[in-house]
Structure 1
Amino acid sequence: MFETQWLLALLGGALVGSAALLLLLVNGRIAGISGILTGALQSRTPWRWVFLLGLGVGAWLAFTLGWAALPDFAALPAWPWVALAGLLVGIGTRFANGCTSGHGICGMGRLSPRSIVATLTFMASGIVTVFVTHHLL
């Protein structure tokens, strides 16, 4: 890790936490991306679309300013594996009644027992998946 990367990570985390807190205080909503996306597709509430647009604009801005780099797409697995992973994440999101942002950022910040269990499950699943795919397969 470069000397200043931890500062960018700290700044990014502070911005994400601040945005989640601001959404909760101003709109009374939890910043769970899966719930926001589902709500945007089911209704015409403009704040959801603005929030999702802000995610894309923020990523583009970070890349443009040199704060982030594009991933090495050549290092990704074949697209069927990526599609399967996305499907499994979507199914897990439904079973957990929320995604990593809803449980991991907002729920953990509120000390929600359900979110703590969900986040521990997400993390354990990720650790096991990386171990299996990088060391056993």
Structure 2
Amino acid sequence: MTTFSLFPLGWQHYLLGGLCIGGGVALLFLLTGRIGGMSSVFSSSWSYVVQRPFFQQAKFTDTRRWRLEYALGLILGALVWWLWLGDGARETTQMPWWLLLAGGFLTGYGARRANGCTSGHGICGLGSLQRPSLLAVLTFMGTAFLTANLVTRWLA
């Protein structure tokens, strides 16, 4: 297996993207002491519209503004990256929409069960040498590899 088959569009932009994400998360932590995971953005955003006690916890209501700003920055950063370094082409997939939707729900459920997502555990947790994050990342990645292989074979 060659580098070209693993990275048909080149590997440099993956490296640069990883450095930007890692640097941004490190900067957020150094300047504010905040962990830059994304699964909490979901719960804290719902605290604006859902009055159930779970969503009205102080950990969500007190942090929702900066979390939304953080998420907006990630979205705008991806847009700038796409416009500046991308070719402007629309990205597509061969996966059926319902499979993508099911995957999104399962991912969200798993992130809640794991008390964090891949960005929280994988970037922030591993970066601060948290043992539970290592277990979570190994579980995420093992499940992802298995699922990707099963779905690819199932759809083939």
TM-score in same-fold range (> 0.5)? yes
Displacement of 1:3: 9.3
User: Which position in structure 2 is the counterpart of 1:91?
Assistant: 109
Unaligned stretches of 5+ in structure 2? 48-60
Q: Which residues in structure 2 correspond to 1:16-27 (within 5 Å)?
A: 16-27=21-32
Q: Provide the alpha-carbon RMSD of the alignment.
A: 2.2
Displacement of 1:123: 0.4
- The letter of the residue matching 1:9 is Y
1:108–1:116 Cα contact (<8 Å) kept = yes
Q: What CA deviation, in whole Å up to 9, does each residue of 1:65-107 have, x standing for no partner? A: 133654224x1x2222111111111110111000000000011
Deviates more, 1:36-45 or 1:84-93: 36-45
Residue 92 of structure 2 is aligned to residue 72 of structure 1: yes
Identity %: 38
Q: Which residues in structure 2 correspond to 1:17-56 (within 5 Å)?
A: 17-42=22-47, 43=61, 45-56=64-75
CA distance in 2, matches of 1:81, 1:19: 31
1:33–1:102 Cα contact (<8 Å) kept = yes
- The letter of the residue matching 2:82 is F
Q: Greater helix percent: which structure?
A: 1
When normalised by structure 2's length, the TM-score is 0.76
Aligned residues: 135
User: Which position in structure 2 is the counterpart of 1:100?
Assistant: 118
Unaligned stretches of 5+ in structure 1? none
Q: What CA deviation, in whole Å up to 9, does each residue of 1:87-136 have, x standing for no partner? A: 11111011100000000001111111100000000000011011111225
Q: What CA deviation, in whole Å up to 9, does each residue of 1:24-72 have, x standing for no partner? A: 1122111101113322442374322221111111111111113365422
* Largest Rg, 1 or 2: 2
When normalised by structure 1's length, the TM-score is 0.86
